Amino acid sequence: MPKPVLLLTRQLPPAIEARAARDYALVSNPTDEPWYKDGAEIARRAAQGGHGGAAGILIAAGDPFNAATIAALPASVRILSTFSVGTDHIDLKAAAARNILVANTPDVLSFATAEIAFTLLLMAARRAGEGERMVRAGNWAGWAPTQLMGVTLQGKRLGILGYGRIGREMGAMAKGFGMELHYRNNRRLAPELENGALYHDSDAGFLGAIDVLSMHIPGGAATAKWLNAERIGQMRQGAIVINTGRGSTVDDEALIAALTTGRIRAAGLDVFDGEPRVHPGYLGLENVALLPHLGSATIETRDRMGHLALDNLDAVLLRGEAPPALVG
């Protein structure tokens, strides 16, 4: 019996590519060519490989699986397994209309993403980016009593927007630094999951109570530009903003204005609206730390993500079962 055809839109970690090659007839992208950005090209590639085209596609965050791309896929496609937790790059309604299953990779990247959020928090609070740039530019004249003074995290109130798995990992790390936890969520969690964090049932009460905002909410219309000028105005003078969720949840113009005036002391951003494009207003600001979407970028995490993405595909295409991480 021939192996099912599997399309990989991106180059994946070696262990994942090897497992996929063992179990599937691959149509792969070994040099990570940018054809994955073009929905029509993805559909064309999905029609390759014989046997009527790909039965499954292993996609990644940012791949344009909108309604047009999904409509252009060959009839052979049964499942899209995304190498990500987020699914805002997929038109789920269009996939459902074609009876194409969608699966993702939850749980396995929570700690790694929280690590990056906390890295950004330390960089923003302690002005680490400024210091690193100073040293590299040859502008460091030696230690001085008032040089690059930041703020300590000890005793500060950390507000976690979106107290899911990543947010709770962030909270656990923050407690080790002596921070006080607050959270805003679509519902209050059970006490055993709160880890001592104080729940807020309003945006204004939440934002007014905290010294640091760490954002862990999904993208989409409901959260677009959530952090806008009005909500920034509800925050404490000199607060810090961290975003490792989705770039679309921040109003860039409003945050840049607040960073420029000092209304917001500093920010740390790992995600951007329209990435890899970054709003040019951030680039000249010393009080913002910018990372290139590194949230899950550890060897261990990316391997776990890849194996779960393949587990989803194996369940459907090799065993005729429901995928373990079915979306919806």
Residue 211 pLDDT = 98
DSSP helix/strand/coil, 102: strand
* Residues belonging to the active site: 246, 275, 293
Specify whether 142 is located in the same domain as 285.
yes
Residue 324 forms part of a structural domain:
no
Specify whether 264 is located in the same domain as 146.
yes
Residue 323 forms part of a structural domain:
no
Specify whether 22 is located in the same domain as 152.
no
DSSP 8-class letter at 27: E
Specify whether 120 is located in the same domain as 264.
yes
Residue 139 forms part of a structural domain:
yes
Largest CA distance in the chain: 73
Give me the average pLDDT of each 10-residue run along the chain (328 residues). 94 98 96 91 89 93 95 97 94 98 96 98 98 98 97 98 97 98 97 97 98 96 97 98 97 98 98 96 98 97 98 98 96
Token digits of residue 191 = 């006490």
Residue 165 forms part of a structural domain:
yes
Specify whether 188 is located in the same domain as 262.
yes
Specify whether 216 is located in the same domain as 286.
yes
DSSP helix/strand/coil, 182: strand
Residue 65 pLDDT = 97
- Contact status, residue 267 vs residue 255, Cβ threshold 8 Å: yes
Specify whether 181 is located in the same domain as 84.
no
Distance CA(53)–CA(41), nearest Å, equals 14
Q: Quickly tell me which residue has 């252009």 as its tokens.
A: 72
Residue 327 forms part of a structural domain:
no
Q: Quickly tell me which residue has 């459907």 as its tokens.
A: 316
Specify whether 93 is located in the same domain as 193.
no
Specify whether 224 is located in the same domain as 264.
yes
Query: What predicted TM-score, i.e. pTM, was given to this entire model?
Result: 0.93
Specify whether 125 is located in the same domain as 270.
yes
Specify whether 128 is located in the same domain as 270.
yes
Q: Work out the angle between the directed axes of helices 299-317 and 14-23 (0-180°, nearest 10).
A: 10
Domain that holds residue 311: 5-108+299-317
Report the number of distinct structural domains present in the chain: 2
- The angle subtended at Cα 28 by Cα 23 and Cα 34, nearest 5°, is 155
Residue 328 forms part of a structural domain:
no
Residue 30 vs residues 18, 21, 55: alpha-carbon distances, Å: 12, 12, 19
- Contact status, residue 231 vs residue 257, Cβ threshold 8 Å: no
Residue 151, Cβ density class (10 Å: 0-12 exposed, 13-18 middle, ≥19 buried): middle
Using CA atoms of 257, 259, 260, 262 in order, give the dihedral in degrees to the nearest 10.
120
CATH code where residue 150 lies: 3.40.50.720
Nearest CA-CA partner of 306 in 36, 60, 29? 60
Residue 217 forms part of a structural domain:
yes
Residue 37 forms part of a structural domain:
yes
Pairing verdict, β 101-103 and 180-184: unpaired
Report the chain's C-alpha Rg in angstroms: 22
The residues pairing with 57 across neighbouring beta strands, listed in sequence order, are: 7, 80
Specify whether 88 is located in the same domain as 128.
no
